[in-house]
C-alpha cells in the first residue's frame, strides 16, 4: 500500500514539474535595457521612465495630501492615527524615491541616446 502511495505521489510531482512555467526571456526592464542599442530605443526607455516618474509623483502627492489632512484633523483618527501617519509617511517616501530613481534613469537614457 505504501509503494502505491509513493508512486502516485511521484507521478503527481512529475506532472506538476512538467507544467511549471519556464521563463526563457521575460519582458522585464532589465532585459529590455540590455537590448537597447539604438538612439530610438533609448528614447523609448526614457519616455517609459518619465511616465513612471510622473505616476510615482502623483502617488506621492496623494500621500502628501493624506498626511496634510491628518495633520489638520489628527483628533479624528484616535489611537490608529499614529499607524495611519507612519504608514502614509512610508508610502510617501517610497513613491518620492521611486520618482527620483525613474527621473534619473530617464536622464541617463536621454544622455545615452545623444551619445550614439
The stretch 21-41 carries a mean pLDDT of 60
> Judging by beta carbons within 10 Å of its beta carbon (0-12, 13-18, 19+), is residue 111 exposed, middle or buried?
exposed
pLDDT band with cut points at 50, 70 and 90 for residue 116? low
The predicted structure's pLDDT at residue 58: 96
Q: Distance between CA atoms of 116 and 114, rounded to whole angstroms?
A: 6
Give the model's pLDDT for residue 47. Answer: 93
Asked whether the whole model's pTM tops 0.75, one would answer no
Mean pLDDT of 38-65: 92
Amino acid at each position: 500500500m505504501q509503494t502505491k502511495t509513493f508512486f502516485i505521489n511521484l507521478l503527481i510531482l512529475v506532472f506538476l514539474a512538467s507544467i511549471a512555467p519556464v521563463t526563457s526571456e521575460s519582458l522585464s526592464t532589465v532585459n529590455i535595457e540590455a537590448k537597447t542599442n539604438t538612439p530610438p530605443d533609448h528614447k523609448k526607455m526614457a519616455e517609459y521612465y518619465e511616465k513612471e516618474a510622473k505616476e510615482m509623483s502623483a502617488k506621492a502627492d496623494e500621500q502628501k495630501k493624506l498626511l496634510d489632512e491628518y495633520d489638520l484633523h489628527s483628533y479624528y483618527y484616535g489611537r490608529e492615527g499614529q499607524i495611519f501617519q507612519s504608514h502614509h509617511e512610508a508610502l510617501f517616501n517610497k513613491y518620492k524615491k521611486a520618482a527620483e530613481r525613474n527621473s534619473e534613469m530617464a536622464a541617463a537614457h536621454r544622455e545615452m541616446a545623444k551619445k550614439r
